[in-house]
Amino acid sequence: MAMEILIETSARHLHVTKEHLETLFGKGHELTLKKWLSQPGQFLAEEKVQVVGPRSSFPGVSIIGPVRPATQVEITATDARSIGLTAPVRESGDVAGSAGCELVGPAGSVTLTEGVIVAMRHVHLIPEEAEEWGLANGQLVSVRLNGSRPLTLHDTVVRVSEKYAKAVHIDVDESNAAGMTPSDGGEIIA
């Protein structure tokens, strides 16, 4: 059974706590909406920070809002090696014992002892879609990426919530490995 689905590639980005946002951008600072993203309530902010590793850094990494309970930097394995880190593949929010880095903003800097991860690919579904497709929260499926050099990702976790919009989220290494362009879609193979 193959079900067509939107494939979205997450560029490198970070989520920040209210406290870290104020350290980086100044007391009382709030994130500025640049663009709403596909997942309801999530938005690309105008604010960017420098992400500094032991070897080098990325100058202008975008923040995705709103603020969260923990600061989390999402990069690819290629990015991690490039700036001199080893970041584990983790589900969002699971940052214990992950890599550290320094964040530099216009008003100050933050030293993270953990929070840098390679985001584990995942499928977002609302309960009605999951039921229609016979999929359950936490289930692992394969996802075929129909790019110019097609491939099938295995062990991709399904996440089900009323707060989601139907899409598969992959990182830039996965997207490039499949030769994806924004118009290329995919299929869930359960």
Site for a second copy, rule CB under 8 A = 76-78, 82, 89, 120-121, 148-155, 171-174, 176-179
CB of 102 to a second copy, least distance (A): 21
- Residue closest to 107 by CA, chosen among 49, 158, 168: 49
CB of 175 to a second copy, least distance (A): 8
Pairing verdict, β 122-125 and 167-171: antiparallel
- Residue closest to 8 by CA, chosen among 179, 171, 178: 171
Taking the least distance from each CB to a second copy, the nearer of 57 and 82 is: 82
Taking the least distance from each CB to a second copy, the nearer of 129 and 174 is: 174
Helix (H, G, I), strand (E, B) or coil at 128: helix
CB of 154 to a second copy, least distance (A): 5
**Distance between CA atoms of residues 185 and 104, nearest Å:** 36
Q: Which residues contact 95 (CB under 8 A, 6 or more apart)?
A: 70, 72, 114, 115, 117
Taking the least distance from each CB to a second copy, the nearer of 66 and 179 is: 179
Taking the least distance from each CB to a second copy, the nearer of 83 and 135 is: 83
CB of 47 to a second copy, least distance (A): 23
